[in-house]
Structures are given as structure tokens and as C-alpha cells.
Structure 1
Amino acid sequence: MVHRRNERSGRISRLRRAVDAPASASRFERVRFRKRWRTEREVLSSDNAGSDTKISESLVDQVDRKPAFLAVDFFCGAGGTTRGLIDAGGYVVAGIDKEHFCRKTFVENNINKSWDEKPPVYLERDIFPANEAYPAGEHAELQGDLDRLIPPFRSKLPGVPLLFAICAPCQPFTTLSRKEMSDARVAKRDKDRNLLKEAARFVERFRPEMVLSENVAGIKDPRYGGIWEEFRSELERLGYATGTRVVCTSRFGVPQYRKRSILIAVLKEKVREEYLSDLLATELLVPDSNPDSPTMTVEEAIGHLPPIIAGQLHGEIPNHRARSLSELNQKRLSCAKPGESNAYMENTAYGDLSLECHRKVNARLNDRCFSDVYTRMRPDRPSPTITTKCHSISNGRFGHYDTDQVRGISLREAAKLQSFEDDYVFHPTDMLDPVARMIGNAVPPKLARYFATYLVSSLTGAREPS
């Protein structure tokens, strides 16, 4: 019995060695193991080694598979970009973020299905260098991590290109007034505006064939000191052809109006000529839509989810929970019709339910302001931009379109509107605010998937993912 068990172990170990061997030395291994597998599978099956057989079959598949590209996801958060990269056929080696609370969500939802079925390594690091003024920096440690992680994959998978996704937090480039922030928050945002510059140092060191960056549409505004163009210029100095464009996610199959700046880069010696502008030989063309993805509406995206009431957590669907509403806000939303402004609040069955603070601002400016708060989405259009406050009807047009449901959208619905699939679970599942922040800050997976696929196709010698 022990001898037979050892035999099974030996067979599986040989398959594991084939998986771990460099791809450049594995052609003979592949042929040899395919021939041997037919015999060994029969032996394993006859020995009632069901679990061993499944393991071995998985390993044989792994020997034959090869990802379309390798990737490192900087500022990965809960994993929206990573999910898109994996769906595009990539293998994400690591995600980098200094926030601890994203780790569980990132790791548990992102299995690298293109190769070894393992999740990316989550590197909880601060990208800034440490110095006397900022001792929390971990640039050197992160560089050491990547020095250990990237070269072995490059060795095992020669010819497989590397992509760096650099989607820095967007808060430093939003329009929130400095008067509304504490001094500490202002200082942090000013520092975080250098995140792209710091990330460029890793591009210089590891020279990925491709770079993908996404941020708010307003990042090109001169008030931010030309950070976007500086980043682009640095990539060009490092030998990349680059392109940038403001796009709307609704044109890429995401059921949401969300304008974002996209910057893509490919090593000049690797890019196919047809992907370059006729006007400038070093400028990459950036698509403004995915012709294969029709516009998706709110109802198409979330209409399949069962009704719930405000404050309820669905018993079987993770994150399908809506925020509680006060009695007054229930009255307000019960009078709202899908798509209309909040002017309805001035004349309801319950009287004038408009907010005094809004009335004062409207009177002072002689205009109607904050007209989307306490309103419902339209079912027949993409949603408005999903923010970190998407679970609160007082922060935007986040009321559910179904007038029989007097509530804001649930976290699961918000995730769907960001193009996450239903099985993407955000942790902790019993909390609202932390999960809403993860969802609102995420890059829509469908957007990341499209541009990753586009970048790979722009490379000379590009191939379809296996």
C-alpha cells in the first residue's frame, strides 16, 4: 500500500516539475508527459485515486497553458484592475497597496486561471521611499519584493510580455475644495500626487513591455501641475510610445457613465505600426469605445437581483445589503420617480420635504443645486458614476429605480454597476462603508480587460491567450 501511494506521489511530482521548469526547456517534457499521462491516468484511476487524478489532470493542463501576459497591479485596492487583467488572459504576479483592509477581498477573488490557479501575491507596501520626513516609506522593500517575484516568472515564461497597471488613487485629483479638508488631509493629497512619479521608477527598473494607467478625467487639469503629462513624458523618455484619452466607461460594456483618463504605453521597439498615429510616430492610438460591447442599462445589470428593503442584508447573496433610511428619507424616496430631479420634494403628499440648506444655496445662487440627491436611477440608461458614497441617497442619484423598493442601491448592485460579477465578494460582508469605498474606488474590470487585451494585441508577434 505504501509503495503504491509513493508511486502515485512520484507521478504527480514529475508533473509538478514540468510545470515549474522553464518554458524554454519544456517542449520535450510536454510531449513526454502527454504520452505518459495516458498510461498513468489509467493506473491512478484503477487505484481509486480520484483526488490524485484530478490533481494530475490539472497539472497536465498547466503544462500546456501559457498566459497572454504577466502583470503587476500597482495601487490594486480590492482588485478591479486585477480582475480585468485576469479576464483578459493575463497572470497577475502581484498586487500592491498599502491598505490592509483590501487584502482579503483582493486575494480571495482573483485566482490566476491562465496558469497555476494561484492568487497574486498581495504586497502591503507604501511606494514612497523612506526618509527622515517620511519614515513610513517602503520603496526599497517593495523593490526587493519585485526583484524576487518578477525574474522567476520571466525565466519560466520567456516571450510572455509584462504589463504594469498603474492606477493611482484618484482622490488627489478630484475637485473637493481644500477648504473642506483638514491640514493633514491636504498634506496627504499633495504627497499622493507624486504616486505616478514614484511608480515610473519601477517602470525604469523592470522595463515592462506595456503600461496601463487610469485616473479621473480631470487629472490633466493644469491645477494639478501637469502630473499626467509629466508621467507620460517620463515613459517616453524611457523608450515607450504613449497615448492618452478621456473615455466613458459606458462605451466599454460597463453599465455606468464614468469618465476616465486612460494612458497606455508600449515599448517603441515592440509596438505594431498600425497602432500608431499617422501624425506622430510615437503616439499610440487610444480607442474611445469597444465596438463589441453594446451599452448596458441599469436594469440589465441589476434587474436580476431580488428585492430587499432598506437596512436589509440578503441571506444568500453576499453584499446585497442596502443602507437604512430614516423615516423622513423613506418619505422622500417614496415620492421620487426614476430619472427625475429632486424638485419633487417641494410638493409631495407629505408636504414640502426639501432641505433648508439646499433652499438657501439655490436662493443665493439663483439656480438649483444638488439636484441629484434623494433621487432614483433610470432603469433604461447606464447609472451615474459610482462613488465611495454610492450606498447613500443623500450623496447622489443612488436610489433604486424600482418604485416598489424604497431604498438606495445595495453594495452588490453598486458592484454590478462597476462591472464586477455576482461572485466577487467584498469583505467584510457585514459592513457598509469600507465596502462602499472599495467599490467606488475600483477600476471597472471590463474597462481594464479591454485595454489589457488592446495593449497585448498592439505588440509585434502578438498571440491569442492559450
Structure 2
Amino acid sequence: MTQEQSSVDKPGQIHMVDLFAGPGGLDVAAHWLGMAVEGVEWDANACATRDKAGLATKQADVRDHKPADFEKATVLAGGPPCQTYTVAGGGAGRRALEQVLRFVKLMAAGEDVKESLAGLDDDRTGLVLEPLRWALEAFHNGKPYEAIVLEQVPAVLPVWHAVREALEGIGYKADCGILHTEMFGVPQTRRRAILIARRDRKPALPAPTHQRYRKGEPADVSDEQLLLPWETMGRAVKRESPYVVISNYGTGGDPKLRGRRTSDEPAATVTGKVSRNRLVNREDLELQRFTLPEAGRLQTFPLDYPWSGKDVSQQIGNAIPPRLAAHVLAAAMGWELDEKALDEAVNGEWSVTKDSSPLAARK
């Protein structure tokens, strides 16, 4: 399925191609920033959501395409599947980490590793190298991307360091590291490995705007950087009375000991099993569990975001929070993000065709 861009291109508008685009975390942020974006996504469920949201999509396997198929794009972005690298997954990617790092060096040296990747225990593991393939091919075709933005689970950070070295070998300047979502106004504690690269200047990962969440410490603890308090579930998901979320996962090494967060705290990491989290009141009486739109709010998708298809909980859990993505994209582009305007976008109605001012001042 290919969907044409819903809005007419504006003069000077920057175009981005988003690999492994999912339901649209990066794409939503790109639209908030006034960028045009087309996503490549093979999953029919995620594509159903993207279609309802009005996001331009090519339903396809990223491995079957190349930069020349997206000629307008000057920005490359992507969040490859994390299942083989995440702690909650089977661990095939973590076990193959040394092989993957070796493949990065071979690719940087000009070797084709396609057949070698096919020999990995789980073929999803090698997908983390697809953005590098696209970047290298665009460079060798004489049309390198001006900026590159990649995100994954923390276990992939060594791969991003290796990719950074490969990109620097063809003229990019790059930065990579771990970002905490609650430090960018997301009402959830989640860590992401981020890489940003540019050809014209040295970029830097975005600076935090909010405090780091630490269990047992109030949100208004004084901070020498004068950061904002972390965002709470209660402000993001408004209900009539306070509530407690009981995790579907164990905590402290005990699978029977379920983690608890109150509505006055950020949510724990939102996963594809978010619908299994129980909600109770202060007397431990059962409450309605998070609805899908509410779960999306914890990821900072607009409340009216049109989730569609099957496995919506998984779609939500797999996505990068759009609010974090906006900070990362703005940093990669060298733009100054308007935090107040970002608040309004996150809390407002979703429209891919809405004609509003971008959230970032372009330097």
C-alpha cells in the first residue's frame, strides 16, 4: 500500500524518510515540526493506523528498497525492530552483538554482508544495520542525507557507536547516547539509544527539559539546572480520582512482586502488554484498565490519534514517544524547540493537514 502525502508540499519543506515507521512516533513529531515525511512499514496493523492518521506510507520491507526510491528525502530516520535486543525479548540480538559490530565494519569497508546476515539466528537482528546500508548507498550515489536520526533500545548503543564511526568515515559528524523519556516531558520512564548525525556540523543530543525520575523522591526537588518537574500519569490520563498502576511484570528480580506506580508518578515503560496492567484505587479496589487512547497518551500521542488494525497495544508499546522524537529531530536539525507549542501539540487534536506554525525556530 502506498498513500500519497495528505498535505501539499510547502516551499522549502524538508523531506524525511522513516524506516520501520511503525504507527508513526517519528512521523507525528516530524509533522509537528513542519517536515514532510514518508514511512516504510511492512506490518499491516501499523499501516492501518498510519492510514487513518493520514501519514504517507509505503507498505514494504525496508530491505526491498533504497534511497533512490525516496528522491526528495534529505533526512533519514529509523527505529529498527527491537525484539531481539530488548531484555523482555529472546535475546538473539544481544547474543549476536559481536557479529553485528563486525558487520558494521565490513559494510563501512564496502563489503556486501547480505548473505552473512541471513545466517543469524533471528533475521530481525540484522535489520538494525539497514539504516547504515541506506546511508552508505546514498553517499556512494552522490546524494548523501543531510541528517540522520536513529533510535533503539539501550542494548543497541554499542551498534550505534560503531555506526557513528562508519558515518564519520564518510564525512558525517555524529553524537549518540541514552536518553530518558521523562527528562523530555514524557509521562513515562523509558530509555532509548539515540544517534544523530549531520554532514555540515557537529550535532549534540537534546538537553533535558525535565527532571530525572527517582523512586521515592518528589517531583519538585530543587535542581541546579532548574529543570521542570517530571510529568505524571495523572496529568496525562485524567480520571476522576487518583489511581495506582500495577505492572504486568515482576520487579526487584521477583516475578511475583509487581511494580506499582501512583498517578502522581510517571508510568513505567509502556510495552506491548500495557493493556494487562491492572489499575486500582487507594483502597485496592479494581478500576477500569487503561483504554488504548489512554495508553497512547502515556506515549504522548494525541488523545484522538486514530489507532486501528489489530494488536494496538503492541503498536503503542513499540513506538517512540512523539514528544521525545520532536526533541531529537529538532536537535538533529539544529532547531530551537518551542516547549509551550509542543505542549499544545501533544494535548491538542491530531491532524496531518493542520496548517499551523512549526514547533521549532529554524536557525
1:235 to 167, 181, 199: 167
Aligned to 1:207: 144
Aligned to 1:82: 27
Aligned to 1:437: 314
Give the Cα–Cα distance (whole angstroms) in 2 for the partners of residues 260 and 66 of structure 1: 33
2:261 is aligned with 1:377: yes
Contact 2:232-2:263 at 8 Å conserved across structures = yes
Give the Cα–Cα distance (whole angstroms) in 2 for the partners of residues 189 and 101 of structure 1: 25
Deviation at 1:404? 5.8
Contact 1:68-1:465 at 8 Å conserved across structures = no
The code of the aligned residue for 2:255 comes to F
Q: What pairs up with 1:250-261 in 2 under 5 angstroms?
A: 250-261=182-193
Give the Cα–Cα distance (whole angstroms) in 1 for the partners of residues 156 and 261 of structure 2: 27
Q: CA RMSD in A?
A: 3.5
The code of the aligned residue for 1:299 comes to G
The 1:197/1:251 distance shift into structure 2, 3 A limit, reads same
Give the Cα–Cα distance (whole angstroms) in 1 for the partners of residues 18 and 188 of structure 2: 23
The 1:171/1:67 distance shift into structure 2, 3 A limit, reads farther
Report the 3-state secondary structure (helix = DSSP H, G, I; strand = E; otherwise coil) of the residue aligned with 1:423: coil
Contact 2:150-2:195 at 8 Å conserved across structures = yes
Deviation at 1:399? 2.6
Q: State the aligned residue count.
A: 286
Contact 1:217-1:259 at 8 Å conserved across structures = yes
2:225 is aligned with 1:300: no
2:75 is aligned with 1:163: yes
The 1:407/1:458 distance shift into structure 2, 3 A limit, reads closer
Q: Deviations over 1:149-176 (max 9, x none)?
A: 42xx47xxxxxxx221121111121124
Contact 2:293-2:305 at 8 Å conserved across structures = no
Aligned to 1:97: 41
Deviation at 1:199? 2.0
Aligned to 1:40: none
Q: Deviations over 1:23-68 (max 9, x none)?
A: xxxxxxxxxxxxxxxxxxxxxxxxxxxxxxxxxxxx9xx69x4465
The code of the aligned residue for 1:259 comes to R
Deviation at 1:178? 4.5
Aligned to 1:464: 361
Deviation at 1:231? 1.8
Report the 3-state secondary structure (helix = DSSP H, G, I; strand = E; otherwise coil) of the residue aligned with 2:18: strand
Q: What pairs up with 1:449-460 in 2 under 5 angstroms?
A: 449-457=326-334
Contact 1:67-1:91 at 8 Å conserved across structures = no
Report the 3-state secondary structure (helix = DSSP H, G, I; strand = E; otherwise coil) of the residue aligned with 2:325: helix
Q: What pairs up with 1:50-69 in 2 under 5 angstroms?
A: 65-66=10-11, 69=14
Contact 1:172-1:193 at 8 Å conserved across structures = yes
The 1:214/1:148 distance shift into structure 2, 3 A limit, reads closer
**How does the TM-score come out when normalised to structure 1?**
0.54
Contact 1:248-1:288 at 8 Å conserved across structures = no
Q: Deviations over 1:249-273 (max 9, x none)?
A: 0011111000111111111xx11xx
2:95 is aligned with 1:174: no
Contact 2:52-2:307 at 8 Å conserved across structures = no
2:244 to 331, 338, 352: 338
The 1:239/1:287 distance shift into structure 2, 3 A limit, reads same
Report the 3-state secondary structure (helix = DSSP H, G, I; strand = E; otherwise coil) of the residue aligned with 2:149: strand
2:62 to 127, 130, 133: 127
Report the 3-state secondary structure (helix = DSSP H, G, I; strand = E; otherwise coil) of the residue aligned with 1:264: strand
Aligned to 2:113: none
Stretches of structure 1 lacking an aligned partner (at least 5 in a row): 1-58, 111-118, 129-137, 155-161, 221-225, 277-283, 308-336, 343-357
2:279 to 394, 399, 408: 399
Contact 2:18-2:40 at 8 Å conserved across structures = yes
The code of the aligned residue for 1:338 comes to V
Give the Cα–Cα distance (whole angstroms) in 2 for the partners of residues 127 and 409 of structure 1: 33
The code of the aligned residue for 2:235 comes to E
1:147 to 61, 65, 68: 68
Q: What pairs up with 1:414-433 in 2 under 5 angstroms?
A: 414-428=295-309
Report the 3-state secondary structure (helix = DSSP H, G, I; strand = E; otherwise coil) of the residue aligned with 1:76: coil
> Which stretch of structure 1 is more off in the superposition, 400-409 or 79-88?
400-409
Report the 3-state secondary structure (helix = DSSP H, G, I; strand = E; otherwise coil) of the residue aligned with 2:287: coil
Deviation at 1:370? 2.4
Larger Rg: 1
Give the Cα–Cα distance (whole angstroms) in 2 for the partners of residues 191 and 368 of structure 1: 30
**How does the TM-score come out when normalised to structure 2?**
0.68
2:292 is aligned with 1:411: yes
- More helix by percentage: 1
Aligned to 1:29: none
2:52 is aligned with 1:108: yes
Deviation at 1:458? 6.3
Deviation at 1:246? 0.8
Give the Cα–Cα distance (whole angstroms) in 2 for the partners of residues 126 and 66 of structure 1: 31
Deviation at 1:285? 2.5
